[in-house]
Structure 1
Amino acid sequence: MFGTRSLRGHVIRQHLSIMAAAIESLLTEISDSEDPVEELRSLRTAVLAVPVSGLREIFSAPHLGIIFSLLNTSNREQIEVCVEILGRVLQVLRPADLARDCKSELQSGLNHPDDSVKVLALAQIGRAVGHADGIAEVLRSPEILRDVIHCVGAERIGVAKEAIAALSKLSATKAGLDALFLSSLLKELREVMAISDVVRYRVYELVVEISSVSPVSLGYCANCNFISQLLEELTGDDILVRATAIEMVTNLAQCQHGRQYLAQQGIMDKISNMIIAAESDPLSSFYLPGLVKFFGNLVIVDSPQQVCESYPAFLSTVFAMAMSSDPTHIPVALDTLGVLGSTVEGKQVLHKTGEKFQSVLKRMSQLARDGATELRARSLEAIAKLLSLPVEQQTEDLLLLVESWCLCLSSQPMEMLRNISTQPFPELYCSALRVFTALASQRWGQQQMVATPGFVEWLVDRSVGTGKEAKECKFDLVGALVSSASTQEVFGGPSYLKLKTYQKEGPYYVNAVASVTTEGGD
C-alpha cells in the first residue's frame, strides 16, 4: 500500500514538473509575442489541467504580473482568456497576500473599461475581505474601497452586485463598519447614491444586507440616516419607487432586530394604513401586492394570530385580492393564503373568519379548475398547504376543520383533483399530487380516496405522469400513504400491498414486461 502511494505521489510530482515547465515556456512566449492570444489559449488549457493546489507551486508574482499586463488591450478575446486564467490562478493566493501583493493590479481592474475585468477584481476583493487578515490589508488601501463603492454605480448590474457583495462582507466586522460609515468613504457612498433612482436602491440593498447582520450593524446604518431615508420612500410620490421601497423594508423585516426597529418606528402601522388607503388609489395595483407580501412575510416569522389581529386590513385585503379579477393581485393572495394556512395557528385564524374564508376556498377551487395554467398551479399549491396537517397535530377538531375545507372545494374533491391531474400540463399534475400527499396521512382523506372509483389503480399506474418530477411526486404520495398507520386498514390488504410494492420498486421503476417490443407486424 505504501509503495502504491509513493508511486502515485511520484507520478503527481512528475506531472506538475512537466506542467510547470510547459507553463513557464508559454509565459516566455507570451512575453515575447505581439499577438499572444494563441499562447494564452494554450496557457488557459494548461492552467485548467492542473489542480489549484498544484498551481500554488507553479505560479509566482512575476507570472501573475505578465497576465495582468495583458489586460491592457482592446482585444476582447485576449481580455476574456486572461480573466479566465486569473480567476483560477488567483485562488492560490492567501487573502492577505492577494490584497497586499496585487493591490495595484486589483485597483487597475476596478477602473478597467471591460466589465468582466471589474467583476474579476471585485470578486477577488470580496474574497480578501471575507477573512480577517485580508480585511486588515484592504483597509490599508482606502482608495481601493473608494473604487469598489463607485462600482455600485456601474451601468452593468453584474458589476454592481459584486461590489455590493464585497462591501457587505467588509461590513461583517467592526473595522469594516467603521471604515464604511465613520470615514470619508461615507461621503463617497452618498455621492454614488445620488447618481440615479436605480443606484440609490442598490445602496439601499447594501444597507439592508448590512443592517440584517446584527443590531450593531443596523445601528451604524440608522445613525447615518440611511434607514430613515429608505422609510421615507414608502410614501413617496413615485409609485414604482414606493414599490421598490416596500420590497427593501420587507427584506429588513426578515430579521428579529429589523422587525423590532420597524415596529419602534411605527412602520407596521404605516404599512397597514397604506393598505387601507390603497382602496381609493387607482394606482394601488403597482404597490399593494408588496404591502401584502410584507405582512405575509411577517406571518412566517411571527405569530399569524398576532399579525392578523393587530392589522386586520391585511387579511381582509388578501381575501379581496383572491376574489378579484386583477392578474397582479390573485397570485400574491394565493401565495399568502398558502403561507398563512400552513400552520395550525394560521388555520385557526382563517377558520375564525367563517363564511368569508369559505367563499375564498370556493374561488380557489374555481381557479384550480378553470383559471390560467399558472394560477391553477398556484391555487393547488396553496390548497395543499391549507389541507396539510402533520400527524402530531391531528386533533379531532383540526381534522374536521380540514375535511370541511376540502369539501368546500367540491362535493367530490378527489375526483376533481384527479381530473385536473390527467390534463396535459405537468405542473398541474404535480401540484394536484401535492394536494393528495397533504391528505395522505389523514384517515378521512384516505377514506375519500378509496371511495373514488379507480383511484387505487390510477395511483399505482406508472404510465401516468412520465416526467422525472411527476414520478417523484407520485412516489412521495405513495410513500406518505405507506407511512400512515391507518392506510392498511382503510385501503385493505391487497391495495396496501400494491402501494408497498410500488414504494419498494422506487420512483423510476419500469415494468419489464410492458417494455418488451412485440415481434411481428409492419
Structure 2
Amino acid sequence: MAAAIERLLCEISESEEPIDELRSLRTAVAATPLSGLRESLSAEKLGVVFSLLNTNDRQQVEVCVEILGRVLQVLDPAHLAQNCKSELQSGLNHPDDSVKVLALTQIGRVVGHSEGITEVLNSPEILRDVIRCVGAERIGIAKEAISALSKLSNTKAGLDALFRSDLLKELKDVMSISDVIRYRVYELVVEVSSVSPVSLGYCANSSFISQLLEELTGDDVLVRATAIEMVTSLAQSQHGRQYLAQQGIMDKISNMIVAADSDPFSSFYLPGLVKFFGNLAVTDSPQQVCERYPAFLNMVFAMAMNPDPTQTPVALDTIGLLGGTVEGKQVLHKTGEQFRSVLKRMSLLATDEATELRVRSLEAIAQLLTLPVEQQTDDLLLLTESWFSSLSSKPMEMIRDMSTQPFPELHCSALRIFTAIACQKWGQRLMMSTPGFAEWVVDRSVGKGKEAKDCKFELVGALLSTSSIREIFGAPNYLKLKTYLEEGPYYVRAVSSVTTEGAD
C-alpha cells in the first residue's frame, strides 16, 4: 500500500486535473493502517497535496482536507512544525473553513509538544493568525483556536508569548470586535486561569479578569448572565475561588441575589447566580457557604416554590447538588419546615408538571435520598426515611406508578429513587411490605430499551450490596435477585417452540 501511495503522489504532481488521482489517494490512505502511514509518509512528500489546496474548486479542497486530516495526525508534531510551518500558516488564512480547522488542529498538536512549541514561539506571525481565528464567524474555527492557545499557555514560554508580548494587543484587538468575540476571549482566559495560580496571575495582570468581573454588574442583563457563567467556571479551581474571594466577588454575587427582587430583569441572570453558589457549596462546604451567604439558600427555596417554570429547574438541580452530600443533607434538614414545604412541592412537580420538570424533580429527590452504606448513621437513616415519607401519603405507590410510565426518562428517574433507598434497611422493608414489589424487581418484561434495563440492573445491584437483603427479602427472593445479577441486564430467556406436523 505504501508503494501505491508513493505512485499516486507522483501521478498527482504530474496531472493538470488531479481530482481522480486525489480520490484514489484518499481511498488508499483510508485503507492503510496508521502505523503504515507513519512509516511511508513524511511532511515533505505531502507538499503536493498542500499545494492543491490553493484552488477555488470546493470538491478538490474537500478531498485534500480528508487526505491531510488522516495523514498529518500520524506525523511527529516537531517534524510537522519544522517542515510544514508555511503550509499551516497558509491554512489559517485559507478562505475555506475546513482548511482553517485542519491547520488549527495541527497547530494544537504542535504547541502541545515540547519541541514543537519552540518552533511556533519562534514564529509569532503564526500565533497572530491563530488569535485572529478566535474572531472567526464560524464557532468551530474559534473553538479550535481557543484550544490551541490554551495548550500554548500550559508553559511559561507560552504564557509570556501570549500575555507579555505584542500578541497581547492582538488579543485585545480581537476582543473588541463584538460582544460574542469578547466572551470567546473570556472563555480562553478562564480556561488558562484554571490551570494554575501562575497562569491566573498572568491573566489578572493583563486586566482580563478585572474586566470580566466588571461585567457582572453591567447594564446589559444578557451580558451579565454570560459573565456569571464565566465566573462560575473560574471558581471551579481552588486558586480561582481564592482569587474571587480576595476580590470580594462572593459578597458581590450574594448582594446581587438580595437585590434581585427589585430588578424586573433578574430572571435573566438569577439562575446563574444560584448555580454559582451551588457549585461553590459542593466544591467547598455546603454548611459554610449556606451559613455565610443565607440569601443563596433562601433564593433556592423561593425559586423552587415559584410557579414560574423558568426558575424551577435550576432550583431543583441545586437542591439535588446540595442534598447529594451528607453535609448538604444536614444543612437542608436544619431549615426545618421550610425544606419540608419544598419537598412537598417537589413531589407535586414530579407528578403533575411537564415531563422535563418531572424528570428533574425525580432526579433531585433521588440525590436527596441517596445514602451509601459507608455513610449510614442512625440519624441520617431516620432523615432519609422521613423525607421519603413526606413525598406523599403513599410514596411507594407514587414512585411505582411513575416507573410504569411509557416515557423512558420518567421510568428511569423513578427507578433511580428506588435504587437510592435500596441499600437502606428502611427502604428494603418498605419494598418488601409493598405487595408485588419483590416480583416486579426481577420481572424482565418491565421496561424496554437499554437505559431502562441498565437502571433495573443497578437497582438489583444496590439491593444485593447490603448484608441485610437476605434477611429482609427472604431466601427465595434473594436467590432470584442473585440470578438476575449473574445473568446481566440484557438476559433474554429462550422460548422453546413445538412444531406440529402438517401445521402451516
Question: What TM-score, normalized by structure 1, do the two folds share?
Answer: 0.94
Q: Distance in 1 between matches of 2:398 and 2:460?
A: 19
C-alpha contact (below 8 Å) 2:2/2:36 kept by paired residues: no
C-alpha contact (below 8 Å) 2:43/2:75 kept by paired residues: no
Residue matched to 1:370: 352
- 1:245-324 mapped onto 2 (5 Å cutoff): 245-324=227-306
**Identity of counterpart residues, as a percentage?**
79
- 1:5-24 mapped onto 2 (5 Å cutoff): 19-24=1-6
1:74 to 46, 49, 56: 56
Q: Secondary structure at the match of 1:237?
A: coil
- 1:104-143 mapped onto 2 (5 Å cutoff): 104-143=86-125
Distance 1:235 1:517, change over 3 A: farther
Q: Distance in 1 between matches of 2:286 and 2:235?
A: 15
1:417 to 395, 399, 423: 399
Residue matched to 1:341: 323
Q: Distance in 2 between matches of 1:315 and 1:40?
A: 62
* Structure 2 residue 451 is matched with structure 1 residue 469: yes
* Structure 2 residue 186 is matched with structure 1 residue 199: no
Paired amino acid for 2:457: F
Paired amino acid for 1:305: Q
The gaps in structure 1 that reach 5 residues or longer are 1-18
How many residue pairs get aligned? The number is 503
The gaps in structure 2 that reach 5 residues or longer are none
CA deviation string 1:428-450 (max 9, x = no partner): 11111110011011111111111
- Between 1:63-72 and 1:83-92, the stretch displaced more is 83-92
C-alpha contact (below 8 Å) 1:403/1:444 kept by paired residues: yes
Aligned-pair CA distance for 1:479 = 1.2
- Between 1:115-124 and 1:47-56, the stretch displaced more is 47-56
Aligned-pair CA distance for 1:366 = 0.6
1:164 to 146, 151, 159: 146
Q: Secondary structure at the match of 2:59?
A: helix
Aligned alpha-carbon RMSD (Å): 1.4
Residue matched to 1:8: none
Q: Distance in 1 between matches of 2:126 and 2:57?
A: 26
- 1:211-226 mapped onto 2 (5 Å cutoff): 211-226=193-208
C-alpha contact (below 8 Å) 2:419/2:459 kept by paired residues: yes
Paired amino acid for 1:260: Q
Q: Secondary structure at the match of 1:465?
A: coil
Q: Distance in 2 between matches of 1:296 and 1:35?
A: 61
Q: Secondary structure at the match of 1:92?
A: coil
Residue matched to 1:6: none
* Structure 2 residue 23 is matched with structure 1 residue 41: yes
Q: Distance in 2 between matches of 1:93 and 1:318?
A: 52
Paired amino acid for 1:258: G
1:479 to 449, 453, 461: 461
C-alpha contact (below 8 Å) 2:286/2:327 kept by paired residues: yes
Q: Distance in 2 between matches of 1:129 and 1:48?
A: 26
Aligned-pair CA distance for 1:517 = 8.1
Aligned-pair CA distance for 1:246 = 0.3
CA deviation string 1:46-76 (max 9, x = no partner): 1112222222332234421100000011111
Q: Distance in 2 between matches of 1:270 and 1:47?
A: 57
Aligned-pair CA distance for 1:491 = 1.2
- Between 1:404-413 and 1:156-165, the stretch displaced more is 404-413
Residue matched to 1:11: none
CA deviation string 1:257-307 (max 9, x = no partner): 000000000000000011111111111111100000001111121100000
Residue matched to 1:330: 312
Q: Distance in 1 between matches of 2:219 and 2:370?
A: 42
Aligned-pair CA distance for 1:499 = 1.3
Paired amino acid for 1:507: P
Q: Secondary structure at the match of 1:384?
A: helix
Paired amino acid for 1:153: G
* Structure 2 residue 211 is matched with structure 1 residue 229: yes
Aligned-pair CA distance for 1:518 = 8.6
CA deviation string 1:312-349 (max 9, x = no partner): 01101101111112222111111100000011100000
C-alpha contact (below 8 Å) 2:253/2:273 kept by paired residues: yes
Q: Distance in 2 between matches of 1:394 and 1:53?
A: 53
C-alpha contact (below 8 Å) 2:42/2:75 kept by paired residues: no
Q: Distance in 1 between matches of 2:178 and 2:108?
A: 25
* Structure 2 residue 41 is matched with structure 1 residue 51: no
Residue matched to 1:511: 493
C-alpha contact (below 8 Å) 1:289/1:328 kept by paired residues: no
Q: Distance in 1 between matches of 2:63 and 2:397?
A: 59
Q: Secondary structure at the match of 2:73?
A: helix
Q: Distance in 2 between matches of 1:184 and 1:506?
A: 61
- Between 1:91-100 and 1:228-237, the stretch displaced more is 91-100
* Structure 2 residue 81 is matched with structure 1 residue 99: yes
C-alpha contact (below 8 Å) 1:146/1:185 kept by paired residues: yes
Residue matched to 1:391: 373
C-alpha contact (below 8 Å) 2:43/2:79 kept by paired residues: no
1:459 to 441, 455, 476: 441
C-alpha contact (below 8 Å) 1:99/1:134 kept by paired residues: yes
Residue matched to 1:7: none
Q: Distance in 1 between matches of 2:499 and 2:426?
A: 44
Aligned-pair CA distance for 1:86 = 0.8
Paired amino acid for 2:322: L
Question: What TM-score, normalized by structure 2, do the two folds share?
Answer: 0.98
Aligned-pair CA distance for 1:28 = 2.1
- Between 1:25-34 and 1:364-373, the stretch displaced more is 25-34
C-alpha contact (below 8 Å) 2:186/2:212 kept by paired residues: yes
Q: Distance in 1 between matches of 2:95 and 2:458?
A: 52
Q: Distance in 2 between matches of 1:190 and 1:414?
A: 59
